[in-house]
C-alpha cells in the first residue's frame, strides 16, 4: 500500500479555481456488518441496498461525494472477512472517495487490509494507525475534486482500538501533522474520525482548520452541529443512519446538513442487490461452520459429558404431545423463512434458525447437519443428552429456559416480543406425562 497520500482525480494538487456547483456529501459509518436488514421484522432500517438508492436519487439533483467513517465489520472471523469485503465492494459501486479505518478494520490486521485494499481498490485512509515499526498501514489522506472544489479527506481512529501489532497515535497531533504536509493543496478539509463521542467532539473543538469532522461510533447519531467553524456529525448504529451535508453555495460560507434514517421509504438498488447476491453465492459455496464466525462463545475446554445436543427425535418418545405441539409451531418451520429469501446461507441468520448452533452435537453446517435446521427443543431447553440418557437429570437450561428466548427475540429482531404473550403460542409441558424432566 502506498505510503504517500493518494491523489484521486486531483489536477495539479492545487485548490480548484472553478466556480463551486451544488454538492452533497454523504457519510456512512459503523455499518458493523449490517449489509442488509436481516428481515426478522418489517420495520428494520439500513443496509447497502437502501444506501445505494438514496445516493442514486441524490445524484439526480447534483454532485455527490460519498465517504465512510469506518467500523464496517462486526468481528474478525472468516465470515466477517467475507462480509467486510462484500461491504467494500458495495461501497466501490457507490464511488466511495475514502473509507476510514475504524476499530473493526484494525482488528483484521495490516496484512489483510493491504490485500483487501488492493483487490477492492477502495481507498482506505488513516493518518494515525501504524505498524509497530512506525510504517503506515493506509494512506493518511486522499484528495479528490468534486463540484469545483478540491477536498482533502483525512482518516483518524481512536487509540482505544490499538492492537498488539498496530499502534495508534494521538488523533489531533496526527491530523495536524497530515494537513501541514498538505497545506495549499486543498480548499475543503474533511476528517473522518472513528472516535467515541467525547473524543469526536473534542477533536472538532480543537481543529478549526477542518470544515467537517465526521465520525462514529457514538451510540446515537450526532446531528450536524457547528463547533466553532467546524461542522461535526456522526452516522452510526449499523449504518442505519447517514449524515447528509450540503456544501456552502453563493454567499454562504458554512456547511449544513441532517441525519437521514434509511427506512422502508427507500427501495433496493439493483447494483447493490447484485452485490448482495454475489456475497450469498460465496457463502453458499463456503457453507461456513460456527467456528468460522464470531457468533459463538468459547465453551469450557471440557464441558460436561452429557452437555450435547441429542436432537428432536430423542424427545418424542416421552414427550409425544409436546412434540406434536412443536410441529405445529413456527419454531418447527423457522428454516423456511430463510430459504424464502436465500438467507439460509448466512451464518448470522442460521444461529437463530437452527438447533444448538455452535454447541456440542449441534448445528455445524447445512451440508453436515441438515437435520438440525429449525428451532428445536434444545434451542430453549439446552443440549440434553444427559437428560435423554437419565430422565431424572434435568435438561441443561431447565432453570433458565425463559432466558433463552431473548437471545434471538431481542429488540433488534423481535421488537414486539412479550414473553407472556409469545409463551401462549407454544405452551407445553403441562401434562404430567410430558413434564417428566421439569
Kindly give the confidence (pLDDT) of every residue in the chain, 438 residues in length, as a single tens digit, with 9 standing for 90 and above.
444 455 444 433 455 555 678 999 999 999 999 999 988 887 899 999 999 999 999 999 999 999 999 999 999 999 999 999 999 999 999 999 999 999 999 999 999 999 999 999 999 999 999 998 999 999 999 999 999 999 999 999 999 999 999 999 999 999 999 999 999 999 999 999 999 999 999 999 999 999 999 998 998 999 999 999 999 999 999 999 999 999 998 888 899 999 999 999 999 999 999 999 999 999 999 999 999 999 997 666 678 889 999 999 999 989 999 999 999 999 999 999 999 999 999 999 999 999 999 999 999 999 999 999 999 999 999 999 999 999 999 998 988 888 899 999 998 889 899 999 999 999 998 875 444 444
Count of CB atoms situated within 10 Å of the CB of 316: 16
8 A C-beta contact, residue 235 and residue 51 = no
- Kindly list the domain boundaries of the chain, sorted by start residue: 6-280, 304-434
Whole-number Cα distances in Å, 410 to 180, 339, 357, 407: 48, 22, 17, 6
* Residue 356 burial by Cβ neighbours in a 10 Å radius (0-12, 13-18, 19+): buried
Sign of CA dihedral 144, 158, 205, 72: positive
| Backbone dihedral angles phi then psi of residue 31, each to the nearest 5 degrees | -60, -35
Decide whether 6-280 matches 304-434 in CATH topology: no
As a whole number of angstroms, the distance between CA 404 and CA 359 comes to 14
The secondary structure of residue 298, as a DSSP letter, is P
Cell numbers for 53: 438508492
Cell numbers for 167: 499502534
DSSP strand pairing (241-246 vs 256-261):
antiparallel
pLDDT at 11: 36
Looking at domain 304-434, its CATH class is mainly alpha
8 A C-beta contact, residue 33 and residue 73 = yes
As a whole number of angstroms, the distance between CA 260 and CA 256 comes to 13
8 A C-beta contact, residue 16 and residue 150 = yes
Residue 75 CB partners (closer than 8 Å, separation 6+): 33, 104, 107, 293, 294
CATH fold, domain 6-280, is: Purple Acid Phosphatase; chain A, domain 2 (3.60.21)
Which residue in this structure is represented by grid cell 448470522?
A: 348
8 A C-beta contact, residue 201 and residue 232 = yes
pLDDT at 15: 56
User: Residue 158, preceding bond cis, omega within 30 degrees?
Assistant: no
* Angle, helices 78-93/270-286, rounded to nearest 10 degrees: 160
pLDDT at 17: 53
pLDDT at 300: 60
8 A C-beta contact, residue 322 and residue 434 = yes
Residue 362 CB partners (closer than 8 Å, separation 6+): 309, 354, 355, 356, 369, 372, 378, 383
As a whole number of angstroms, the distance between CA 405 and CA 403 comes to 5
As a whole number of angstroms, the distance between CA 272 and CA 102 comes to 23
* Angle, helices 78-93/110-120, rounded to nearest 10 degrees: 40
Nearest CA to 363 among 437, 312, 421?
312
* Residue 427 burial by Cβ neighbours in a 10 Å radius (0-12, 13-18, 19+): exposed
The pTM assigned to this predicted structure is: 0.92
Cell numbers for 270: 439493483
Nearest CA to 395 among 302, 297, 300, 314?
314
What is the side-by-side order of every strand in the sheet holding 98-100? 124-125, 98-100, 63-68, 23-28, 241-246, 256-261
Amino acid at each position: 500500500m502506498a505510503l504517500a497520500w493518494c491523489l484521486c482525480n486531483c489536477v495539479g494538487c492545487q485548490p480548484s479555481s472553478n466556480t463551486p456547483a451544488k454538492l452533497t456529501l454523504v457519510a456512512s459509518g459503523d455499518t458493523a456488518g449490517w449489509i442488509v436488514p436481516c428481515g426478522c421484522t418489517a420495520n428494520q432500517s439500513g443496509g447497502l441496498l437502501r444506501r445505494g438508492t438514496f445516493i442514486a436519487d441524490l445524484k439526480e439533483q447534483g454532485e455527490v461525494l460519498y465517504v465512510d467513517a469506518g467500523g464496517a465489520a462486526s468481528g474478525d472471523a472468516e465470515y466477517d472477512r467475507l462480509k467486510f469485503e462484500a461491504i467494500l465492494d458495495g461501497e466501490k459501486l457507490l464511488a466511495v472517495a475514502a473509507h476510514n479505518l475504524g476499530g473493526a478494520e484494525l482488528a483484521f490486521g495490516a496484512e489483510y487490509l493491504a490485500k483487501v485494499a488492493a483487490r477492492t481498490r477502495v481507498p482506505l485512509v488513516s493518518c494515525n494507525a501504524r505498524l509497530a515499526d512506525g510504517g503506515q498501514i493506509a494512506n493518511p489522506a486522499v484528495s479528490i475534486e468534486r463540484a469545483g472544489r478540491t477536498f482533502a479527506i483525512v482518516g483518524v481512529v481512536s487509540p482505544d482500538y490499538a492492537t498488539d501489532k498496530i499502534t495508534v497515535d494521538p488523533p489531533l497531533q496526527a491530523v495536524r501533522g497530515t494537513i501541514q504536509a498538505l497545506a495549499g493543496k486543498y480548499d475543503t478539509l474533511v476528517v473522518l474520525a472513528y472516535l467515541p463521542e467525547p473524543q469526536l467532539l473534542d477533536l472538532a473543538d480543537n481543529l478549526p482548520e477542518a470544515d467537517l469532522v465526521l465520525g462514529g461510533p457514538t451510540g446515537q447519531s450526532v446531528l450536524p452541529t457547528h463547533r466553532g467553524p467546524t461542522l461535526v456529525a456522526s452516522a452510526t448504529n449499523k449504518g442505519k443512519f447517514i449524515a447528509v451535508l450540503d456544501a456552502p453555495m453563493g454567499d454562504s460560507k458554512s456547511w449544513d446538513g441532517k441525519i437521514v434514517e434509511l427506512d422502508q421509504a427507500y427501495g433496493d438498488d439493483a447494483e447493490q442487490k447484485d452485490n448482495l447476491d454475489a456475497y450469498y453465492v460465496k457463502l453458499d459455496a463456503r457453507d461456513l461452520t460456527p467456528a468460522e464466525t464470531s457468533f459463538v462463545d468459547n465453551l469450557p475446554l471440557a464441558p460436561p459429558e452429557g452437555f450435547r445436543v441429542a436432537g428432536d427425535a430423542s424427545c418424542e418418545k416421552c414427550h409425544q404431545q409436546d412434540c406434536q405441539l412443536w410441529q405445529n409451531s413456527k419454531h418447527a418451520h423457522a428454516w423456511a423463512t430463510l430459504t424464502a429469501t436465500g438467507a439460509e446461507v448466512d451464518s448470522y441468520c442460521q444461529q437463530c434458525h437452527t438447533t444448538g448452533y455452535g454447541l456440542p452435537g449441534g448445528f455445524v453446517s447445512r451440508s453436515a447437519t441438515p437435520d438440525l435446521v429449525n428451532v428445536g427443543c434444545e434451542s430453549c431447553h439446552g443440549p440434553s443428552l444427559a437428560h435423554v440418557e437419565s430422565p431424572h437429570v434435568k435438561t441443561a437450561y431447565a432453570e433458565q429456559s425463559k432466558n433463552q428466548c431473548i437471545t434471538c427475540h431481542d429488540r433488534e429482531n423481535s421488537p414486539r416480543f412479550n414473553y407472556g404473550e409469545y409463551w401462549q403460542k407454544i405452551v407445553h409441558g403441562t401434562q404430567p406425562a410430558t413434564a417428566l424432566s421439569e
